């Protein structure tokens, strides 16, 4: 019988690096804010959702931060980063639409478009019906002698999917955030400029499910239950 992950915390981080720095917008913060404001208008944003960096140590530092609920967007002249957390299943399904909205203007002239894309999924879960230590022994049985008591630990697995131009990494270990919980980190690096966010998240979830299935793990029927405190990402 598969072990169902009892999800306690999860987040998804997307980072896209531009093919070249956006020199065209250097010194034109009003244009940058205007483009994001127009893109996010359907989400009922106000200028209070935007935070400008008062000073920058280098040109690569974040110059604009936007927050809507649990969703945080960070923009610099070299990359765009969006972090999602505390999302329900329905909110997860709306993430592709949100990413399309905030990146559309960055794919058009004078913007340079993207070079690479990076998705990181992080979760902390209890294991229904199995002790964490017993499970970790099935993941990594290697121990080092004569250096103290060996505790069960995790492992990192790397895969290359040439057709999709994916490089993936799966990290399984004990959580350092929630005692007694299992930490899973799953990363997809995409080495091409254009991606279909809806297709990518669907394929990524399917691949993730198949990989953790090799360890007898299974995600719940929904990617995330409604957060117990009722908070949402507000990306609808």
Q: Where are the domains of the chain?
A: 3-218
Provide mean pLDDT across the span 174-188.
Answer: 97
* Model confidence at 59: pLDDT above 80: no
Please, which pLDDT band fits residue 231 given cuts at 50, 70 and 90?
very low
At residue 225, the pLDDT reads 44
Q: How many CB atoms lie within 10 A of CB 183?
A: 18
What's the CA gap between 11 and 183, in Å, rounded? 12
What's the CA gap between 112 and 205, in Å, rounded? 29
Give the burial class of 145: count Cβ atoms within 10 A of its Cβ; 0-12 exposed, 13-18 middle, 19 or more buried.
exposed
Provide mean pLDDT across the span 20-47.
Answer: 89
pTM of the model: 0.88
Q: Give the chain as a 3 state SS string.
A: CCEEEEEEEEEEEEEEEECCCCHHHCCCHHHHHHHHHHHHHHHCCCHHHEEECCCCCCCCCCCEEEEECCEEEEECCCEEEEEEECCCHHHHHCHHHHHHHHHHHHHCCCCCCEEEEEEEEEEEEEECCCCHHHHHHHHCCCCCCCCCCCCCCCEEEEEEECCCCEEEEEEEEECCCCCCCEEEEEEEEECCCCCCHHHHHHHHHHHHHHHHHCCCEECCCCCCCCCCCCCCCCCC
Give me the percent of the chain exceeding a pLDDT of 70.
Answer: 91
At residue 75, the pLDDT reads 94
Please, which pLDDT band fits residue 54 given cuts at 50, 70 and 90?
low
* Model confidence at 216: pLDDT above 60: yes
What's the CA gap between 125 and 180, in Å, rounded? 9
* Model confidence at 57: pLDDT above 70: no
Q: Look at the chain and count its residues.
A: 236
């Amino acid at each position: 019988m598969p072990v169902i992950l009892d999800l306690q915390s999860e987040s998804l981080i997307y980072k896209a690096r531009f093919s070249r720095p956006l020199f065209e917008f250097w010194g034109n913060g009003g244009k940058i804010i205007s483009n994001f404001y127009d893109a996010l208008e359907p989400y009922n944003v106000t200028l209070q959702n935007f935070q400008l960096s008062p000073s920058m140590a280098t040109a690569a530092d974040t110059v604009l931060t936007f927050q809507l609920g649990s969703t945080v967007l960070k923009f610099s002249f070299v990359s765009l980063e969006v972090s999602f957390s505390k999302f329900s299943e329905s909110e997860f399904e709306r993430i592709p639409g949100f990413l399309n909205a905030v990146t559309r203007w960055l794919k058009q002239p004078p913007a340079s478009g993207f070079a690479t894309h990076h998705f990181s999924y992080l979760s902390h879960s209890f294991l229904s019906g199995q002790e964490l230590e017993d499970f970790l022994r099935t993941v990594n049985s290697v121990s080092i002698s004569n250096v103290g008591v060996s505790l069960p630990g995790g492992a990192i697995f790397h895969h290359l999917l040439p057709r999709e131009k994916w490089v993936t990494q799966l990290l399984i270990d004990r959580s350092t955030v929630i005692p007694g919980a299992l930490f899973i980190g799953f990363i997809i690096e995409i080495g091409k400029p254009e991606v279909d966010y809806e297709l990518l998240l669907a394929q990524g979830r399917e691949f993730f499910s198949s990989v953790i299935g090799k360890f007898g793990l299974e995600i719940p029927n929904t990617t995330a239950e409604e957060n117990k405190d009722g908070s949402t990402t507000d990306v609808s």
